[in-house]
A and B are shown apart, each in its own frame.
Chain A
Amino acid sequence: MGSSSLIVLMIAAIAFSGIAILLSKIVLKPSTNKQKGEPYECGIPTTGKTWVQLNVGYYLFALIFLVFDVELVFLYPWAVVAKGMGWVAFVEIVIFFFILFMGFLYAHKKGALKWI
């Protein structure tokens, strides 16, 4: 079908979810009471703000991920031509991985991979 299939799929997904939610809105009889909108927390009211500070580890891993994700993007075109290029491609990727691995070791040494 070609690239128009993306539009079809996107419209199909939106229509499917929209119709499902709308159908349930039509079918059910809503009722209201004071407790219904409370956030779920073991039955007791929630204390303080919800958007609390979280462990810094999540952000550190996200930052390291960025580096490696960009690396992965560079690998895709390489992987397609690697077999045809022969040993040149192999040596290049060894150098690339070596530099990357140095960065990885640095992050490890700094304690970025440790969960505090």
Chain B
Amino acid sequence: MWSLSEIAHTIHEWLNTTFNSTLATLIEMVVAGIAVISLFALLGLVLVIMERKVSAWIQIRLGPNRVGPKGMLQSMADTLKLLVKEGLTPNGADQFLFNLAPFIAMIVAMLLMAPIAFAKDFQLWDLNIGVLYVSAVSSIMVISILMAGWSSNNKYSLMGAMRSGAQIVSYELSAGLSLLSIVVLTGSLQVSEIIQSQSNGWWIFKGHIPAIISFVIFMIAVTAETNRAPFDLAEAESELTAGFHTEYSGMKFALFFLAEYVNVFIVCAIGATVFLGGWMPFHIGSWEGFNHIMDFIPSSIWFFGKTFFLIFMIMWFRWTFPRLRIDQLLNLEWKYLLPISMVNILLMTAIAILGWHF
């Protein structure tokens, strides 16, 4: 049966036999870059149309249904429209920082792709500190938001950026702590080893109640970290017009938008990897027959299925909960989520040491 890793391996072999090693490496790099860019653009298109369809479905309306079959080409049309819009720079804005901010947002979103295992043995870089890498790189995101808000010469932008700064740095803590409670169980930060340790069941089922608490806290924290409703204070439409990207238009706005959606995909992918087993099929302990049947479904389908389920959950949050106020938001993090996740990690350590997990 063909799989993504086999295709990659075949391409690698063919390049190395046809060209010399330097040229082969170079071509491989170009191919990888083009593949990642295509994935990036495709994810943006798919997630935008998914968001609009899900919101329409939850609010009992039709959503986009004119462009293409069932409105599936709507986001393509939107991209074309954004392409022919002029990218303005307001008077008195800091030109350099204003133009730099979307680039940084894109670089961060792109760099986060490196440690994600899309399928079995299909990963750009399986580094031994994968989880730490993800939390380290994703915290650079806040710099691009602050940069965009600060340089825009607009009070709405500045306020949105400050709010988002306070929010992202706060929720980073509980997101990191909830990931750590699973790292205590696996004893490794490497993504492939975390997935391998779930071959007889996913951590959310094996880790008793603390794992479920971690998962819930992680979902809340990443919703806040990606600036999505009910934590979308950075771009609260009814208060701040569009928050930190009020002054952005045309393609620069599109880049921010794309980076935001890809970030949602990435945090969901990390959640799926750590808590729901990544590409690992659904296995139950030692039920050989059942596990064997589950292995027939390709690993990439498992990965994308889990990730898109989590993305659907985050979209579901958006249309269910009303927006919080900034003081409520910070109270929730500092007075509830942070102490709970600290106690939770102690409980998890006790469970791991006693060997109570399955």
Contacts and interface: CB of A to CB of B under 8 A. Distances in A.
Contact of B170 (A4, A12, A65, A76): A65
Looking at chain A's contact residues, is the secondary structure mostly helix, strand, loop, or mixed? helix
B187 A23 contact: no
B154 A82 contact: no
Interface in A57-116: 57-58, 61-62, 64-65, 68-69, 72, 75-76, 79-84, 86-87, 89-90, 93-94, 97, 101, 113, 115
Given A9-B114, A62-B165, A68-B338, A21 B251 contact: yes
How many A residues are at the interface, by size bracket? 35 or more
B342 A97 contact: yes
Contacts, number: 205
How many B residues are at the interface, by size bracket? 35 or more
B154 A61 contact: no
A62 B334 contact: no
Looking at chain B's contact residues, is the secondary structure mostly helix, strand, loop, or mixed? helix
Interface stretch (B88-96, B209-217, B291-299, B314-322): B88-96
Given A5-B124, A61-B170, A38 B255 contact: no
A21 B127 CA distance: 33
Interface of B: 25, 28-29, 32-34, 36-37, 40-41, 82-93, 102-103, 106-107, 109-111, 113-114, 124-125, 127, 129, 131-132, 135, 150, 152-156, 158-159, 162, 165-166, 169-170, 172-173, 176-177, 180, 183-185, 187-189, 241, 246-247, 250-252, 254-255, 326-327, 330-331, 334-335, 338, 342, 345-346, 349-350, 352-353
